[in-house]
């Protein structure tokens, strides 16, 4: 639009170098992850480059930009917004419209303003960038060894934001008033800290203190600053346990090469001795001395998300054997906060600016495990840390920048050169999963174990950080508070509520109570989603599949529509409905949930169902390790069906085989038997065990009895456990492929989605994918959310949305 000159207009102020008759004005809105990632400074610099005038500001809908200048300049500017976006930003949508010029005479960053129309995406917490790391170890820099150095490209975001728009006053940095030097950086468009909301320095920012858990007078004489950090370093060197406050909560740390320290940490934390711990190492160079690392794994380690990456150990591995016992893999992460780097770096002989990779280090590896007591959420507050961690840690390294929302470390592994999540949390949350279809506003409450919830709006599905196992009041309270936090920041008031089919889950009860409270008990708002249908729907959603698939859902526990426990399922499903087309044959879960911790019980069930009364006469070392009275009692329970529920769980099948082959009769953490069975897989063999199918009422029932007969033969022949493990894994792969073949012949479907906790097994997932693709199937697995119950809330949300389309909202009856 070209305007005519009006001497009385503000347009007189447009600089003479702009041809007045060619001045255009554009309004641009940008949506996505565009706050807290240096986006406004980027826009400011870009506008200057293109000679444009106007302003940029944050809103609750995203970023609002007005520019004036030559039409060609505006067009180039608009194109460059996406072409040269800051690395952490993610643009989901941008829009331009033209308007009458207002006579802007410069370009400025304006104060944020609120809107209630749309949402803005929040940035996750970001690991310290290379520029800040360089300054951290430069003695001439005013932030030398300052534990809270950050800029627009790094530092805390999600865990300190109270509300949007993203400004310092809306974060837990609000109490820290910037000094003149920091204010100057904050207002300098050429500076890396231009409008960096958490910006601080030793003069005006947060500080650390060291609390001595063994000194009742410590509260009055806590060392601070460098003295506190040095005290923590010396304590770690002496084998002490130090609780360290990070971005998303506290870690419990000790020297990972010190056997006694690691044992003491596990004992005090009441952590199972066999359960592995994660370690933090100062650099990729050090990590390569502990583990074998592929290019993809190195990229993940060094990424701005800095997850824990499961890596193959080098043998002998320099860390204590107590860190990851009976496990070929080690969870490794790099430092992601300035404080982490300072704890590792030995600067005693530093002469000038130093590169962290080439510095001497106090430690080759530190254990870094979430600081919490049994089954409770990670500790995040100082008072809470002193109260709950003083019985575990010898010292607590505190700081006074509050953590608003706790957030555990993410855990990933690499399958087929793709990332597979075990836990999706810090560094990734609250980035949404973007779906091809628009959602109604939905709250999906997730499962009981490894709980996450999911809120949806527009095309976005916002999965929460890892909440944990909903088995106690503390975790349940954390679950509720986190839902409120997400609802507030993403401006989502749910219309639909989704939950698991299991009536006793706390997440299910929360959903029921939510409907009672917010919808006067209107049951048409509540959607109870079968566990394994939700698993497959989550895999379909993240892969953008809209048509029906063969879904393979293998896990330990999921409440079935027949009130039994499912877990070895083949479903023909779309987002709305499913048909249970095949499943592992049932076996009694003798003793209920106790059978999960005591796999010998499932082994007895399977042996009895395979061999009948004769199983007791089998010459098995496994049976010889058990008390005869217990065997007879359990046999009676199985025969009479006392205190049992039927299960088709693949997880329980793995448990039973590990009990028989590895003598893993009792486990101390979830999935231990299956994990150790995978660890024992031996050299390459194509052999597998016999199995058969039973056609029952149009369903394929997978008969496990031939599998156990063959396993018992191999055990009695003295075949090595590693060979038996490989043959068993090959068998499960063959079962999946042959079942999919039969279902494909019947239905014509050739797309397979695999999901469930069993597919955290690398050998199983890679083997299934390869063989299915050889057979002409298209196989889909997870890479954006975990295959375990941590990803199930996404599936619940999308199934609820699909089913809601058939609800007549006036009557609640199906349309």
Residues annotated as part of the active site: 40, 58
- Judge whether 799 and 539 are in contact, CB under 8 Å: no
Residue reference for tokens 């401006």: 491
CA pair distance 399, 746, nearest whole angstrom: 62
- Does residue 595 have a cis peptide bond before it, meaning omega lies within 30 degrees of 0? no
749: left (phi over 0), alpha (psi -120 to 50) or beta: beta
User: H or E segment at 596?
Assistant: helix 594-597
Phi and psi at residue 411, in whole multiples of 5°?
A: -130, 130
Q: What's the maximum distance between 2 C-alpha atoms anywhere in the chain?
A: 107
Of 238, 235, 109, give the one whose Cα is nearest residue 166: 109
Question: For residue 430, is the peptide bond before it cis, meaning its omega torsion is within 30 degrees of 0?
Answer: yes
Q: Are 668 and 273 in contact (CB under 8 A)?
A: yes
Q: What is the DSSP secondary-structure string of 277-330? A: -EEE-S-HHHHHHHEE--HHHHHHHHSTT--EEEEEEPSS-SS-TTTSTT-SEE
As a whole number of angstroms, the distance between CA 280 and CA 809 comes to 53
Q: Which residue has the tokens 């199937």?
A: 777
Cis peptide bond upstream of 165, omega within 30: yes
How far is residue 788 from each of residues 456, 736, 784, measured CA to CA in Å? 20, 18, 12
The answer to whether the beta carbons of residues 596 and 590 sit under 8 Å apart is no
Contact between 421 and 790 (Cβ < 8 Å): yes
SS3 10: helix
Dihedral sign from CA coordinates of 667, 671, 672, 678: positive
| 3-class secondary structure, 45 | helix
CA dihedral 651, 655, 657, 660 (to 10 degrees): -170
Contact 288, 295 (CB under 8 A): no
CA distances from 628 to 449, 631, 701 (A): 34, 5, 32
Q: Read off the tokens for 604.
A: 């007895």
DSSP annotation string for 90-108: EEEEEEEEEE------SEE
H-helix or E-strand spanning residue 388: helix 382-389
What is the distance between the alpha carbons of residues 3 and 766, in angstroms, rounded to a whole number? 64
Residue that has been written with the tokens 């089913």 in this structure:
803
How far apart are the C-alpha atoms of 475 and 647, rounded to whole Å? Answer: 28
221 by Cβ neighbours in 10 Å (0-12 / 13-18 / 19+) ranks as exposed
Q: Any idea how long the chain is?
A: 815
Query: Strand pairing partners for 32?
Result: 91
3-state SS, residue 95: strand
* Nearest C-alpha neighbor of 529 from the set 207, 795, 196: 795
Contact assessment for residue 374 and residue 469, using Cβ atoms and an 8 Å cutoff: no
Indicate left, alpha or beta for 756 from its phi (over 0: left) and psi (-120 to 50: alpha): left
**Which residues have a Cβ under 8 Å from the Cβ of 709 and sit 6 or more positions away?**
610, 611, 690
Dihedral sign for Cα 243, 244, 250, 254, please.
Answer: negative
- Helix (H/G/I), strand (E/B), else coil: 54: strand
């Amino acid at each position: 639009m070209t305007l005519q000159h009006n001497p009385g207009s503000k347009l007189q102020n447009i600089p003479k170098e702009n041809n007045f008759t060619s001045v255009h004005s554009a309004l641009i809105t940008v949506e996505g992850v565009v706050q807290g990632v240096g986006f406004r400074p980027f826009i400011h610099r870009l506008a200057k480059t293109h000679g444009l005038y106007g302003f940029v500001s944050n809103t609750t809908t995203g970023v609002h930009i007005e520019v004036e200048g030559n039409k060609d300049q505006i067009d180039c500017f608009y194109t460059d917004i996406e072409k040269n976006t800051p690395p952490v930003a993610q643009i989901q949508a941008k829009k331009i419209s033209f308007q009458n010029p207002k006579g802007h005479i410069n370009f400025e960053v304006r104060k944020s303003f609120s809107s209630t129309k749309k949402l803005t995406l929040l940035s996750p917490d970001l690991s310290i960038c290379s520029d800040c790391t360089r300054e951290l170890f430069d003695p001439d820099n005013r932030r030398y060894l300052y534990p809270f150095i950050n800029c627009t490209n790094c530092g805390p975001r999600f865990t300190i934001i109270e509300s949007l728009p993203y400004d310092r006053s809306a974060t837990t940095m609000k109490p820290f008033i910037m000094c003149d030097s920091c204010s100057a950086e904050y207002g300098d468009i050429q500076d890396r800290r231009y409008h960096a909301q958490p910006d601080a320095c030793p003069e005006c920012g947060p500080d650390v203190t060291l609390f001595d858990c063994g000194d009742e007078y410590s509260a009055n004489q806590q060392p601070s600053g460098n003295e506190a950090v040095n005290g923590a370093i010396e304590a770690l060197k002496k084998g002490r346990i130090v609780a360290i406050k990070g971005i998303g909560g506290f870690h419990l740390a000790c020297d990972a090469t010190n056997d006694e320290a690691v044992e003491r940490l596990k004992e005090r934390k009441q952590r199972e001795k066999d359960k592995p711990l994660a370690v933090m190492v100062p650099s990729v160079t050090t990590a390569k001395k502990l583990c074998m690392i592929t290019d993809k794994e190195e990229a993940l380690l060094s990424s701005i998300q800095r997850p824990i990456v499961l890596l193959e150990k080098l043998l002998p591995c320099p860390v204590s054997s107590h860190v990851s016992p009976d496990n070929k893999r080690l969870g490794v992460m790099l430092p992601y906060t300035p404080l982490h780097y300072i704890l590792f770096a030995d600067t005693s002989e530093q002469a000038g600016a130093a590169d962290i990779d080439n510095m001497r280090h106090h430690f080759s590896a530190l254990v870094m495990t979430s600081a919490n007591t049994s089954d409770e959420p990670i500790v995040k507050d100082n008072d809470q840390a002193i109260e709950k961690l003083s019985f575990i840690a010898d010292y607590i390294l505190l700081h006074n920048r509050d953590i608003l929302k706790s957030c555990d470390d993410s855990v990933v592994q690499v399958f087929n050169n793709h990332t597979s999540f075990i836990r999706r949390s810090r560094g990734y949350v609250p980035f949404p999963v973007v779906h091809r279809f628009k959602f109604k506003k939905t709250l999906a409450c997730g499962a009981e174990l490894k709980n996450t919830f999911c809120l949806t709006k527009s095309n976005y599905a916002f999965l929460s950080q890892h909440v944990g196992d909903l088995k106690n009041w503390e975790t349940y309270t954390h679950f509720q508070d986190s839902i409120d936090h997400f609802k507030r920041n993403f401006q989502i008031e749910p219309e639909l509520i989704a939950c698991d089919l299991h009536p006793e889950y706390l997440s299910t009860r929360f959903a029921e109570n939510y409907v009672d409270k917010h919808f006067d008990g209107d049951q048409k708002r509540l959607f109870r989603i079968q566990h394994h249908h939700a698993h497959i729907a989550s895999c379909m959603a993240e892969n953008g599949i809209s048509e029906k698939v063969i879904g393979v859902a293998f896990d330990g526990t999921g409440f079935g529509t027949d009130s039994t426990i499912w877990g070895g399922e083949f479903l023909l499903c779309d987002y709305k409905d499913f048909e249970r087309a095949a499943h592992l044959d049932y076996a009694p879960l003798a003793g209920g949930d106790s059978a999960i911790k005591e796999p010998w019980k499932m082994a007895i069930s399977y042996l009895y169902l395979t061999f009948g009364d004769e199983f007791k006469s089998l010459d098995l070392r496994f049976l010889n390790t058990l008390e005869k009275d217990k065997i007879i009692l359990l046999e009676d329970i199985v025969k009479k069906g006392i205190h049992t529920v039927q299960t088709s769980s693949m997880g329980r099948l793995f448990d039973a085989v590990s009990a028989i082959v590895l003598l893993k009769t009792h486990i101390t953490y979830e999935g231990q038997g299956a994990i150790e069975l995978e660890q024992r897989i031996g050299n390459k063999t194509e052999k597998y065990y016999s199995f058969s199918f039973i056609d029952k009422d149009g369903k394929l029932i997978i008969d496990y009895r031939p599998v156990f007969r063959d396993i018992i033969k191999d055990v009695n022949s003295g075949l090595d456990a590693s060979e038996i493990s490989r043959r068993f894994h090959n068998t499960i792969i063959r079962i999946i492929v042959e079942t999919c073949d039969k279902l494909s012949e019947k239905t014509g479907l050739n797309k397979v989605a695999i999901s469930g906790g069993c597919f955290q097994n690398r050998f199983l997932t890679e083997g299934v994918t390869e063989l299915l693709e050889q057979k002409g199937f298209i196989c889909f697995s997870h890479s954006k959310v975990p295959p375990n119950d941590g990803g199930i809330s996404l599936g619940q949300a999308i199934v609820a949305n699909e089913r809601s389309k058939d609800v007549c909202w006036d009557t609640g009856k199906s349309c």
